[in-house]
Structure 1
Amino acid sequence: MNRSIDLATGLDLGLTWRNRFASLGEAFYTLLSPTPLPQPHWVGTSPAVADLLGLDRAWLESPDALNVFTGNAPVAGTQPLASVYSGHQFGHWAGQLGDGRAILLGEVDTASGPQEVQLKGAGLTPYSRMGDGRAVLRSSIREFLCSEAMHGLGIPTSRALCVTGSPAPVYRETVETAAVVTRVAPSFIRFGHFEHFSHGGLHGELRQLADFVIDRFYPACREAPGNPYAALLEAVSARTAVMVAQWQAVGFCHGVMNTDNMSILGLTIDYGPFQFLDAFNPAHICNHSDTGGRYAYIRQPNIAYWNLFALGQALLPLMDDQQQALDALEPYKALFPAEQQRRMGAKLGLASVQAGDTELVESLMQLMAKDAVDFTIFFRRLCGAVSGPLEPVRDLFLQREAFDAWALRWRERLHAQPGFDADATAAAMRQVNPRIVLRNHLGQGAIERAQNGDFSEVDRLVKALAFPFDEREGEDDLAAFPPDWASQIEISCSS
């Protein structure tokens, strides 16, 4: 695909750009361009996201693309900006935050609807505070891979088009090298955007933002009876409940569920110190910076509600009274547990929810926790035990008699289902119990190779993670038990 550069307008990518967020006005952002990086190079690309945006896959590997997605070349039709927001971090009001290193290029019309394109690690912005506006290679690879891994699992998420690197030094605990992730989502608006204007007493801007979100993403809220902003809060709560239930069902720990990291669209965003569980421990804390365990795996559902409550407080100036906000939040308390039970039941091959299923799941979780059973491997092996031997699953437990008793109840529950078909049930279970997830040691292996100039494992992982439920040749090592050293990996907020 031919691309031409016009020094006045930038590189023409052949895309139709819109700048709807910029239309909100200067109170919402600062216009600025990315800061170039020296000697950029490719780290990884996602052809699937190129297809989503309507970019030619071959062009994505070109020098022009490399410069664009490193922030070294302007793009015709874009209006680059960094947005301002505020938020609660680790339960405390942090005041003004904002895009400290992310720059939104604009929005692209696609066959799947509009998609915003954002460069993370693209340089200083007015909201960088004490930061340098950069992202390091290791965290950028993790975000790139996990964005695509979550999409492969069917979990709502931002996507990642590519990662580029540079030898430019970035100073964290040690000296590292810079990288830029190109992130894609229908919107990057967060709970913290609403908190910013509400806490600042800027109620006109708060209403403008809420109307923008309703008109673009939640038009049914305008037609709902009662207050449209309460309807918005209820709709966001429902999406968030479903997303967190999906996290829990695959053993995903976000690590930093601050309100500024919560998407108004119920998307998983801002992949920092995340982790997929290895040995099942409901109290697992994946973020080394989370010394109080606020964001432990088992606490994620309640933290999501806490964050929604904070969003409700931010929207109060647009409602008739506090009760409207409380009523809008109430459905979360029933929706989340119901959604989680449905998904956990599906992992066990249960076609519907019946009395006793909650206890069946809870007793299993207790057994797994006591014996630190590998979360992903257990559920994947269980697929083969619908009618096959139990030994591969039983061998994961120390308390084998206790597991035997549970397995007997499980099989009796399966066989009592109307029209039970063992092969069909096992096949359905394999579509919800992944064979491969982005375990910490897999990401770490790709990072260490990349730090030595070998990006082949990044490419291999992004391809494998696109099909996490499939049995594919040459990927047995990706589905194996983690090595002993994996438990020593520490991931923090530093990126």
Structure 2
Amino acid sequence: MKLSEVTLSHHYADLGDAFGTRIDPTPFEHPGLIHVNPAVLQLLGIDAAESKNPDWAQLGCGKKLFKGSRPFAMKYTGHQFGVYNPELGDGRALLLGEIENAGRRWELHLKGAGKTPYSRFGDGRAVLRSTIREYLAGEALTGLGINSTRALCIVGSDEPVTREQIESGAMLIRVAETHVRFGHFEYFFYTKQLEALHKLIEFVCQRFLPEVTGLSVSEQAEALLRFTTRKSAELVAGWQSVGFAHGVLNTDNMSIIGDTFDYGPYGFLDDYEPAFICNHSDHTGRYAFEQQPGVVLWNLNALAHALSAFVSTEALRDCLEEFQPRLVDGYAARMRRKLGLEMEEDGDQALCASLLQLLADGQADYTLFFRALAHYRGERPAAALRELVAPAQHGALEQWLDRYDQRLAHEDSDSRARNRAMLGANPKYVLRNHYAQKVIDAAEQGDHRPLQTMVLLLQNPFDEHPDHETWAAAPPESGKHMPVSCSS
């Protein structure tokens, strides 16, 4: 499909005025295209050659609209750091419309598009720094097999935007199957718009749970909560397995279909630190890495409360009780793959837990250790592993490897087959904040080559890429614990 042939529909905006406000974007005066994502072009059914189309600069900042587009600011609310905030909504983003391809419908969302009725005291803009971070994060998690929103393109400008300092304005077009958040349901519940809440439940079920279409609203709402609980458990299991910390898991940042959503102060682990806090505004550690499973369950409870107008307390509790076993099973399965274990045995969780304790005590780099373990074949001394663990823990490492060798002896696969499988489960490249900042620094100087390189690596994180070894290295101590805020 040519770019000129893209025509958008508006299933969400057509739900009515209660769901948001029709408003045009405020475009940049002098937009400049920074990057078009070829993988997302393919996802949307747009010809790869269209990445060179000069219209992207204008489409990506709202100066020109896709055919049929009717930009729409969505209204929602949510709990932020555990406190309900009724004054939320699309304050700097607009739903442009939806595009269909290969039986799937994708929403295009323009972020940084200017003020809306929900901007509060904000300027409605995004900056190049945060836009690049979101662009890369969607590719990073998608490449790791974890559900995420993605971005179609980035457009920059010479427009100054004030955050902690003066920065350059930028926009991206976010792509997701839906932008409906937990907070959409909370908004209609707390404002007692039960008819609109009913309509939203039916809308989401029709899209993602067609098998319950036509059932009562109570049955649909229960099915939706059960679906979202399962999807959210699987999502956080993925995060924990790859060492990803979201940083700001408010209910307005939770997708109803279990996508990683609204990237702000996120971070991948360098050294394995269960208490890692990536958001320097999170003074209590509410959203620390190890707290994420509990916070997601807390958010699901908030969603359940928003559905309580239609579903009994007993049924809501029954749905939520699926979270922990789904999380435990999903996480255990992912960690067995990282350890090269095809069969499931009773002691596997204890084996994994003892390894994680070793990594924490030994201040080991999470990604590099598992990647090195993928090359391990029982050699002693295990030099590649020892150099990643503090010397004081070398004895503990040897003891763990003895246990691991004994466990591997129960497997049918040979070491070469196991190593190949483990290399496909343990990435060489993850989006460390240190390297993301290098990409941002270059882009702010007009050099987009590091961005192009990083996109390539994140889309193929398990491959070796021998020409780009430096992007896989652990950062220097000064590059760890980089302060990242919610400002964008």
TM-score (normalised: structure 1): 0.95
**2:483 maps to which residue?**
490
Contact kept? 2:278, 2:481, Cα under 8 Å: no
1:372 to partner: Cα distance: 1.3
Is the 8 Å Cα contact of residues 166 and 178 (structure 1) preserved in structure 2? yes
1:160-205 superposed Cα distances (whole Å, 9 cap, x missing partner): 1111100101011111110001110110100000000001111110
SS in 2 for 1:167: strand
**Is contact 1:386–1:411 with CA below 8 Å preserved after alignment?**
no
CA deviations 1:452-484 (Å, max 9, x no partner) are 111111111111111000112211011111122
- Structure 2 residue 385 is matched with structure 1 residue 393: yes
- Whichever residue aligns with residue 116 of structure 2, its letter is T
Q: Could you say which residue in structure 2 is the equivalent of 1:135?
A: 126
What secondary structure, in the 3-state scheme, does the structure 2 residue paired with 1:108 have?
Answer: strand
SS state at 2:78 partner = strand
Query: 2:483 aligned with 1:474, yes or no?
Result: no
Report the counterpart of residue 411 of structure 1 in structure 2.
Answer: 405
Structure 1 partner of 2:428: 435
In the other structure, the counterpart of 1:232 is 224
**How far apart are 1:60 and its partner, in Å?**
2.7
Alpha-carbon distance, 1:224 to partner: 8.6
Closer, same or farther: CA 341–67 of 1 in aligned 2, 3 Å: same
Q: Secondary structure at the match of 2:307?
A: helix
Q: What fraction of aligned residue pairs are identical, expressed as a percent?
A: 44
Partner of 2:328: 337
Equivalent AA in structure 1 for residue 388 of structure 2: L
Matched, 1:193 2:214: no
SS at match of 1:109: strand
The match for 2:310 is 318
Instruction: Pick the aligned partner of 2:300 from 282, 301, 308.
Output: 308
Q: Is the 8 A contact 2:182 2:256 kept in 1?
A: yes
What one-letter code is carried by the residue in structure 1 that aligns with 2:452? D
Aligned length: 484
Question: 1-side partners of 2:466 and 2:212: how far apart?
Answer: 47
- Give distance in 2, aligned partners of 1:456 and 1:121: 23
Alignment of 1:36-55 (within 5 A): 36-55=27-46
Q: In structure 2, what is the equivalent of residue 358 of structure 1?
A: 349
> How far apart are 1:54 and its partner, in Å?
2.1
Aligned counterparts of 1:193 and 1:125: Cα–Cα separation in 2: 17
Residue 457 (structure 1) aligns with:
450
1:45 Cα deviation after fit: 1.9
- Quote the residue 1:346 is aligned against: 337
**CA deviation digits over 1:1-52, x for unaligned, max 9?**
977xxxxxxxxx3124211001210100100111110211122221111111
Would you say the 8 A contact 2:134–2:263 is kept in 1?
yes
Label 1:451 to 1:338 Cα distance change in 2 as closer, same or farther (>3 A). Answer: same
| 1:347-382 Cα distance to aligned partner (Å, 9 max, x none) | 111113211111111111111111211000000000
**1:185-243 residue CA offsets vs partner (Å, 9 max, x unmatched):** 11010000000000111111001000100011112344899822112101110000001
- Residue number in structure 2 paired with 1:10: none
Per-residue CA deviation, residues 431-459 of structure 1 (Å, 9 max, x unaligned), is 11000001001100010011111111111
Which one of 232, 248, 253 corresponds to residue 245 of structure 2?
253
Residue matched to 2:278: 286
Distance 1:287 1:465 in 2: 22
8 Å CA contact 2:268–2:432 kept in 1: the answer is yes
Counterpart contact for 2:201–2:220, Cα < 8 Å: no
Question: In 2, Cα distance between the equivalents of 1:291 and 1:39?
Answer: 39
In structure 2, how many angstroms separate the alpha carbons of the residues matched to 1:239 and 1:365?
A: 25
Residues 6 and 67, structure 2, Cα contact 8 Å, conserved in 1? no
| Counterpart in the other structure of 1:154 | 145
- Asked whether 1:211 is paired with 2:202, we answer yes
CA distance in 2, matches of 1:136, 1:27: 30
Work out the CA distance in 2 between the residues paired with 1:78 and 1:428: 45
Kindly state the Cα deviation for residue 112 of structure 1 after the two structures are TM-superposed: 5.5
Take 1:224 and 1:27, find their aligned partners in 2: how far apart are those partners?
A: 24
Q: Is the 8 A contact 2:8 2:66 kept in 1?
A: no
Give the corresponding residue for 1:57: 48
Alignment match, 2:257: 265
Q: What stretches of structure 1 of length at least 5 have no aligned partner?
A: 4-12
Find out whether 1:17 has 2:8 as its counterpart: yes
Q: 2:19 — aligned with what?
A: 28
Partners of 1:259 and 1:219 lie apart in 2 by: 25
More deviation in 393-402 or 200-209? 393-402
State the TM-score, normalized to the length of structure 2: 0.97
Q: Residue 273 of structure 1 contacts residue 491 of structure 1 at CA under 8 Å; is this kept in 2?
A: yes
Q: Which is further off, 52-61 or 88-97?
A: 52-61
- Asked whether the equivalents of residues 143 and 461 of structure 2 are also in contact (C-alpha less than 8 Å), the reply is yes
Structure 2 residue 86 is matched with structure 1 residue 95: yes
| Deviates most, 237-246 or 62-71 | 62-71
Cα displacement (A) at 1:75: 2.2
Distance (whole Å) between structure 1 residues aligned to residue 214 and residue 119 of structure 2: 39
Question: 1:350 and 1:220 mapped to 2: Cα distance?
Answer: 36
